[in-house]
Amino acid sequence: MRTRFSKIFTAALLAGTVQFGALGMAFSQETLINVSYDPTRELYREFNAAFIAKWKADTGNDVTIQMSHGGSGAQARTVIDGLAADVVTLALEADINAIAEESGKIPADWRGTLENNNAPYTSTIVFLVRKGNPKGIEDWDDLIRDDVEVITPNPKTSGGARWNFLAAWAWARAEFGNEDQAKEFVGQIYRNVPVLDTGARGSTTTFVQRQIGDVLLAWENEAYLAIEELGPDAFDIVTPSISILAEPPVAIVDGNVDQKGTRELAEAYLDYLYSDEGQALAAKHFYRPFRPETAAAEDIERFGDVELVTIEDFGGWGEAQPFYFGDGGVFDEIYRPGQ
C-alpha cells in the first residue's frame, strides 16, 4: 500500500517535472521579442501574423511575438538596460551601434550580417503640405522663406528628425557646394520652426491636429500613413528634388538569443523580412522595399522620383552622429544665441 502510494506520487512528480520542464523550454524557444520604433506598428502587426503562419507551416511550432514600440533612442536604451530583446528593428544605425557599444550584446560589425546593410526596407524624407499646396512649396529652398513655417521634431530626441536634418543638408550642399552655406541654410530652416516636438508622432499631431505650420518634414511612410488615416482631401505629399535614403536597420541581439536559445527563430524572423512576402508587406505599408520587383506594382508606383543621398555621404553614422547631433555639435551651434 505504502509503496504503491509512493510510486504513484513519484510518477506524478516525474510527469509534472517533464510536463513543466517541456513547457518552460517551449516557452523560451517559441517567444520572440521584437523591439522596434513608433511608425512600424502597422507594418509589424501584419508581418508578425504572416510569420507566425509560416513558422507553423515550416516547423509545426507555435510562436508568440511580443512587440515593443517607442522612440528609437529610448528603445535602444531599454535593450542596453537589459530588456531581453531577440531582435531590434530601429530607426537608426546609430541606435544599434549604441547597443553594441554599451551592452556588447551585438557585435560591432553587425552591419553587413544581412543584405543591404541590414535594411530590408528603406524610406526617405518628404514634405507633407496642406491640400492644394497653398504656399507653393516645391523644394528645400522654399523652407527658408519668411512666410513658411516648418514643422520637424528635435533631432536630439527623434531619430526621424536626424534624417530630416541631413536631407536638408544634402540639398544645400549640392546647391551651394560648401558646408558653411549648408549650415547657414539649415539654420535658417530651423529658425522657421515654431514648435520643436520630441518625436515624429508629436510633430505629426502638431501639424495635422493643431494646424500649425505650412510643411511637415516627415518619413515618407509616415506621410502616406497620415494621408491614409486622415483622408486624402486634407494633405498633399511633395517629394523634394534631393532627399536622403533612410535605412532603418534590423539586427539580432546575439547576447540575448544565445542565452535564450532563440537564434534559429530570430534568424528566420529577420530573413523573412527579405522574402517576397516580407518585401510586399513593407511596400504595402509605404516602406520602399529592398527588392521592389517582389512587391505589388501599384504599391511601388506611389513613391515619387527623388535623388537619394546616403548616410555614407556624411561619413556614416559613426561620424555623422557626434558631428551633427552630439553635445556641442552642429545642431547645437544652430541654436547658439545671437544668431
Contacting residues toward other proteins, per CB under 8 A: 71, 73-74, 77, 80, 98, 102, 154, 156-157, 193-198, 202, 205, 209-212, 325-327, 332, 335, 337
Q: How far is the CB of 309 from other proteins (least distance, A)?
A: 24
Q: How far is CA 268 from CA 45, 297, 323, in A?
A: 17, 26, 36
Determine the Cα–Cα distance for residues 216 and 11; give it in Å rounded to an integer: 67
Q: How far is the CB of 327 from other proteins (least distance, A)?
A: 6
The strands making up 150-151's β-sheet, listed across from edge to edge, are: 150-151, 215-219, 125-130, 235-238
Q: DSSP secondary structure string, 66-132? A: EEE-S-HHHHHHHHHTT---SEEE-S-HHHHHHHHHHH--S-TT-TTSSHHHH-SEEB-EEEEEETT
Determine the Cα–Cα distance for residues 44 and 287; give it in Å rounded to an integer: 12
Based on CB atoms, which residue is closest to other proteins, 261 or 326?
326
Based on CB atoms, which residue is closest to other proteins, 41 or 45?
41
Based on CB atoms, which residue is closest to other proteins, 2 or 336?
336
Based on CB atoms, which residue is closest to other proteins, 148 or 195?
195
* Three-class SS state of 300: helix
Q: How far is the CB of 302 from other proteins (least distance, A)?
A: 30
Based on CB atoms, which residue is closest to other proteins, 134 or 337?
337
Q: How far is the CB of 194 from other proteins (least distance, A)?
A: 6
> Hey, CA dihedral for 41, 43, 46, 51, is it positive or negative?
negative
Q: How far is the CB of 162 from other proteins (least distance, A)?
A: 10
Q: How far is the CB of 133 from other proteins (least distance, A)?
A: 20
Based on CB atoms, which residue is closest to other proteins, 120 or 159?
159
Determine the Cα–Cα distance for residues 171 and 109; give it in Å rounded to an integer: 30
> Hey, CA dihedral for 218, 224, 230, 232, is it positive or negative?
positive
